[in-house]
């Protein structure tokens, strides 16, 4: 088979993005299995050998949809959260890529309803994958204009979900919520298949880690729960002065009211105690190998999100054999069994998170046992060997359904 993927960026080193991580993992697996793979990203198509071909704009002019073109399209549709002109441009690029190297099937995200535009306009069979339905995002404070854009985007997303010939999601919770919210007909083809993850050769060891070190990997913003993590740490350090926290990820700002957000520096200055401020280290975006080293050195990795569709941060931590604590977002219970492979904590509750952290630090042997169980669980459920073949079977089932 020749499988195409639409990706927000390429190559993977360009962005810390769950969709890019998924596409990269699937590409490696499919190429190893003898399939052909093409990646459509940033106005180009990249074939399995790494050759790059520029694709046309929606108007037919040759050249990539570069940052300037995307900025112009977004400005023109700045009040439309679904950005339909970009959807048409993506469809034109898929069509052009299909002419260069005909694809059997295309796997792409539901964002902005663009998968529906591609399905209608490109002529390529599409599998719509629910990487992050917008209606499931954490309810951050929004201005009136932002609410208008939000409603536009959800409406476009509704049609993408309802009309999709083939719909997949990384968790059952996401799939069921999207089908219920957008009233997808029961007769439509849909299934839940996890995102795959590689298992690193080097894993966390209790004897090698710093038992006073806590790690959180994720954006500094409201959705990722960075405020919950910081406030929990502030409570913990009052009782355990030697603990330290490292935050990894871009600073998107903590939204506190419509149109107002605090940077990491300003948030810490106004919400943490002097001791808490001294114990936190924020190092911004880091490459994957640096994050892997930090996971092995920290005693516990925390995922504090208020909403997730599928957390690569959490699964990568399980794959590395790290002790983990995650908030109980819808679908988290599909990632691991609480008490056996990690701990669950309520969303937005810094007191509960501080108590869970303290319990784990008081029980290092139990933490190590959970870490071992988590790595085995990850191998059985989320490894490429466990997931890759299921995706290929679904692609074949989609093509068979289309022929019928």
Mean pLDDT, range 247-267, rounded to an integer: 92
Task: State the Cα–Cα distance between residues 113 and 99, nearest whole angstrom.
Answer: 23
Contact 165, 142 (CB under 8 A): no
Instruction: State whether residue 399 is helix, strand or coil.
Output: helix
Identify the pLDDT of residue 144.
Answer: 85
**What pLDDT score does 62 carry?**
36
pLDDT band of 150, cuts 50, 70, 90: confident
* Digit-coded pLDDT (tens) for 132-145: 899 998 787 788 88
Per-residue buried b or exposed e for 114-147, using 16+ beta carbons within 10 Å of the residue's own CB: bbbbbbebbebbbbbbbbbbbebbbebeeeeeee
- Mean pLDDT for 389-403 is 94
pLDDT at 68: 57
pLDDT of res. 66: 57
Q: How confident is the model at residue 26 (pLDDT cuts 50, 70, 90)?
A: very high
Average pLDDT over residues 31-45: 93
Higher-pLDDT residue of 288, 371: 371
% residues pLDDT > 70 (the chain): 94
pLDDT at 2 over 90: yes
pLDDT value, residue 115: 94
pLDDT score of 147: 87
- Between 167 and 63, the higher pLDDT residue: 167
For residue 197, pLDDT beyond 80: yes
Residues 6+ apart with CB under 8 A from 81: 112, 148, 149, 150, 151, 152, 153, 154, 156
Retrieve residue 251's tokens: 């600073």
Question: For residue 32, what pLDDT is reported?
Answer: 95
Name which CATH class applies to 2-196+384-403.
Answer: alpha beta
55 pLDDT exceeds 90?
Answer: no
Mean pLDDT of 205-215: 97
Domain-wise residue ranges, the chain:
2-196+384-403, 206-381
CB-based contact 22:55 (threshold 8 Å): no
Please tell me the predicted confidence (pLDDT) of residue 60.
39
The values of phi and psi at residue 248, to 5°, are: -120, 130
pLDDT attached to residue 179: 95
In tens, the pLDDT along 64-107 reads 455 556 666 666 666 677 788 888 889 999 999 999 999 999 99
Q: Are 219 and 252 in contact (CB under 8 A)?
A: yes
Answer whether 2-196+384-403 and 206-381 agree in fold: yes
3-state secondary structure of 102: coil
Report which DSSP code applies to 194: P
Mean predicted confidence (pLDDT) in 335-364 = 97
Find the range with the poorest average confidence among 146-150, 310-314, 397-401: 146-150
Strands (E), 132-209: 166-169, 189-192
Of the ranges 180-189, 190-199, 238-247, which one carries the lowest mean pLDDT score?
Answer: 180-189
The partner residues of 134 in beta bridges, in order of sequence, read none
Task: Tell me what the pLDDT averaged over the chain comes to.
Answer: 91
Q: Is the pLDDT of residue 63 over 70?
A: no
In the CATH scheme, what is the homologous superfamily, with its name and number, of domain 206-381? Glycogen Phosphorylase B; (3.40.50.2000)
* pLDDT greater than 80 at residue 16: no
| The two three-digit tokens of residue 13, written as one number | 């080193």
Mean pLDDT within 292-301 = 97
pLDDT average, residue stretch 342-351: 97
Q: Which pLDDT does position 37 carry in this prediction?
A: 97
């Amino acid at each position: 088979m020749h499988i195409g993927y639409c990706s927000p960026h390429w190559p993977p080193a360009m962005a810390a993005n769950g969709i890019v991580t998924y596409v990269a993992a699937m590409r490696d697996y499919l190429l190893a299995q003898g399939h052909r793979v093409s990646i459509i990203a940033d106005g180009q198509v990249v074939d399995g050998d790494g050759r790059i071909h520029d694709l046309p704009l929606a108007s037919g002019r040759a050249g990539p949809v570069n940052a300037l073109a995307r900025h112009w399209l977004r400005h023109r549709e700045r009040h439309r959260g679904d950005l339909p002109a970009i959807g048409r441009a993506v469809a034109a690029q898929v069509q052009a890529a299909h002419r260069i190297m005909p694809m059997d099937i295309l796997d792409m995200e539901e964002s902005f309803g663009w998968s529906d535009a591609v399905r209608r306009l490109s002529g390529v069979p599409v599998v719509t994958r629910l990487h992050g339905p917008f209606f499931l995002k954490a309810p951050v404070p929004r201005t009136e204009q932002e609410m208008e854009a939000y409603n536009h985007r959800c409406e476009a997303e509704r049609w993408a979900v309802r009309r999709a010939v083939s719909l997949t999601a990384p968790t059952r919770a996401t799939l069921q919520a999207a089908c219920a919210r957008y009233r997808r007909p029961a007769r439509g083809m849909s299934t839940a298949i996890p995102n795959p993850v590689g298992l690193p050769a080097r894993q966390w060891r209790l004897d090698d880690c710093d038992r006073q070190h806590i790690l959180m990997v994720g954006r500094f913003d409201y959705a990722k729960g960075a405020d919950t993590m910081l406030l929990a740490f502030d409570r913990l350090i009052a009782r355990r002065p030697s603990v330290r926290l490292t935050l990894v990820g871009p600073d998107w700002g903590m939204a506190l009211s419509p149109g107002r957000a605090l940077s990491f520096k300003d948030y810490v200055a106004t919400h943490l105690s002097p001791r808490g401020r001294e114990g936190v280290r924020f190092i911004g975006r880091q490459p994957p190998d640096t994050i892997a080293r930090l996971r092995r050195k920290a005693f516990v990795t925390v995922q504090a999100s208020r909403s997730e569709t599928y957390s690569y941060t959490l699964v990568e931590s399980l794959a590395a054999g790290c002790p983990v604590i995650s908030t109980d977002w819808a679908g988290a219970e599909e990632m691991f069994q609480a008490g056996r492979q990690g701990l669950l904590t309520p969303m937005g509750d810094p007191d509960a998170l501080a108590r869970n952290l303290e319990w784990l630090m008081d029980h290092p042997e139990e933490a190590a046992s959970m870490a071992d169980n988590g790595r085995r669980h990850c191998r059985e459920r989320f490894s490429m060997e466990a997931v890759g073949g299921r995706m290929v079977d679904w692609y074949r089932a989609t093509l068979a359904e289309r022929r019928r």
